Amino acid sequence: MQKNRRKKKKTSFFVRNSRQFYYWLTGIVIVLALLFFFRTTLEMYYYVLKGRFQKADYSYSQLDAKRSKAEVAKIQFVLSEYYGNAFGIDLSRHQGEIKWDSLAEMTERIPISFAFVRATRGVLVQDPFFGTNWEKLKEKNILRGAYHYYDVNKNSTEQAHNFLRTVQLEKGDLPPVLDVEDIPSEQSLKLLKKGLLNWLKIVENAYQIKPIIYSNDAYFIHHIADLDLSSYPIWVANYNLIKEPLHERWTFWQFSEKGIVKGINRNFVDLNVFNGDISALRKMTVE
């Protein structure tokens, strides 16, 4: 008598391949998630943790020895040419821990009237010294402003929210600043410009004040010249020996990246001049 044999059900070609597809898709998603995690971790280390372990402080003479005579002459020229204007500095982790009791003047004749402080970078990073710098400037009665270093390859909305989470503006603070300096490698200039305007709009709506946009003269001229920034204050960097920057509508001019200021010994500090006196500068602040 023949035994009844059960026939094994064969898995269809479609089902087998569908399973393989989902296995591969799951694997790819996991790999991408791990790559994103490690990339983010490295960014956090570089921009946050690294700021805590910088080199030891320099003396004034050591910093001065690292500057050329032409640089010193240029700084003196601008200080003299704009005597009576408001002068200021900008700070980030690169300046390390500041001796706040000593910080007061650009030179013996010119006080520090304002300071811009880096608050955030990209979508995740907060400057490790922002909180201290922000509070100390208030204690020193120095007009303060916060800036965001724009990552030209990252989402503009997420970057705006990173800044908004970090910075609480108060009455008497300077407008927020968008700092853009790089050329995108993962998107077009057209999309970059759209993102810049998006960041400015989000931040303006949140604080109810027009943000300042910062870049160097060459960037304004060659990369975003067609961007309509007519309603925004301009902060321009140009380190050449000139009477004023090339941008005709400048509000702030960063004229040197090698300033030496008492109380800051970790590194040089950027020097800036406002296109007006301290009374005009106060009119720009948050009401």
Residue 92 to residue 129: CA distance in whole angstroms: 7
**Which pLDDT tens digit goes with each residue over 31-84?**
666 665 555 555 544 444 444 444 557 777 888 889 999 999 999 999 999 999
Q: List the catalytic residues.
A: 90, 181
pLDDT given for residue 145 in this prediction: 98
Residue 149 to residue 121: CA distance in whole angstroms: 5
- Residue 31 and residue 164 share a domain: no
- Residue 89 and residue 186 share a domain: yes
pTM, 2 dp: 0.81
DSSP secondary structure string, 103-158?
Answer: --BSSSS-B--EEEEEEEETTTEE-TTHHHHHHHHHHTT-EEEEEEE--TTS-HHH
- Residue 120 and residue 29 share a domain: no
pLDDT given for residue 54 in this prediction: 45
Residue 98 to residue 102: CA distance in whole angstroms: 9
Is residue 278 included in any domain, yes or no? yes
Q: Write the Ramachandran bin of 172: left for phi over 0, alpha for psi from -120 to 50, otherwise beta.
A: left
pLDDT in tens, the chain (287 residues): 444 444 445 555 555 566 666 667 776 777 666 665 555 555 544 444 444 444 557 777 888 889 999 999 999 999 999 999 999 999 999 999 999 999 989 887 899 999 999 999 999 999 999 999 999 999 999 999 999 999 999 999 999 999 999 999 999 999 999 999 999 999 999 999 999 999 999 999 999 999 999 999 999 999 999 999 999 999 999 999 999 999 999 999 999 999 999 999 889 999 999 999 999 999 999 99
Is residue 141 included in any domain, yes or no? yes
- Residue 138 and residue 21 share a domain: no
The CATH code of the domain that includes 168 is 3.20.20.80
Structurally, the chain folds into a number of domains equal to: 2
Is residue 287 included in any domain, yes or no? no
- Residue 35 and residue 63 share a domain: no
Is residue 107 within 8 A of residue 271, CB to CB? The reply is no
- Residue 124 and residue 40 share a domain: no
Bridge partners (DSSP) listed for residue 234: 213, 250
- Residue 220 and residue 88 share a domain: yes
Percentage of residues in the chain having pLDDT higher than 70: 82
Residue 47 to residue 90: CA distance in whole angstroms: 17
Is residue 237 included in any domain, yes or no? yes
Is residue 243 included in any domain, yes or no? yes
Is residue 17 within 8 A of residue 11, CB to CB? The reply is no
Which domain covers residue 164, as residue numbers?
A: 55-282
- Residue 126 and residue 41 share a domain: no
Interstrand relation of 143-149 and 114-121 (parallel, antiparallel or unpaired):
parallel
Q: Which single residue is written with the structure tokens 């608050």?
A: 119
Q: Which single residue is written with the structure tokens 């269809």?
A: 12
Is residue 238 included in any domain, yes or no? yes
- Residue 268 and residue 240 share a domain: yes
Is residue 1 included in any domain, yes or no? no
pLDDT given for residue 41 in this prediction: 52
